[in-house]
Amino acid sequence: MHTHPGATELLIMVEGEITAGFMTPFALYSKTLKPGDVFVFPQGQLHFQVNSGKKKATAFLAFSSANPGAQLLDLLLFGNALSSDIVAQTTFLDIDQVKKLKARFGGKNLNNHMSM
């Protein structure tokens, strides 16, 4: 899961099969794409693409800006020094799950609040 805060993304399916989608606070928009299909991910919207077929999948991507940026959800939550207890308190994860994910994504397992 990721976002592009600086651009809308366009996916054009070439071969294989990809399931793609994006979420809003109240809805999921998802479709299994086949060659010739097109899917648009609105700017800044959390979205995904996964190969849902049995063969290699190929697609072309285009962005509405030369600087789309990329924010990976996993790294935003777990690849940093944000206190593990804050992450646990603001998600549906327990502290042990948070610590395991922080270790996997290179974050620091801090249990106290950090001040600047």
Binding residues for Mn(2+) are 2, 4, 9, 47
Burial of residue 56, with CB atoms counted within 10 A of its CB: 0-12 exposed, 13-18 middle, 19 or more buried: exposed
Instruction: Produce one character per residue of 88-112: b if its CB has 16 or more CB atoms within 10 Å, e if not.
Output: beeeebeeeebbebbeeeebebbee
Annotated binding site: 2, 4, 9, 47
Residue positions counted in the chain: 116
Binding residues for oxalate: 4, 9
Those residues whose C-beta lies under 8 Å from the C-beta of residue 100, and which sit 6 or more positions away, are none
Cα separation, 17 vs 51, whole angstroms: 6
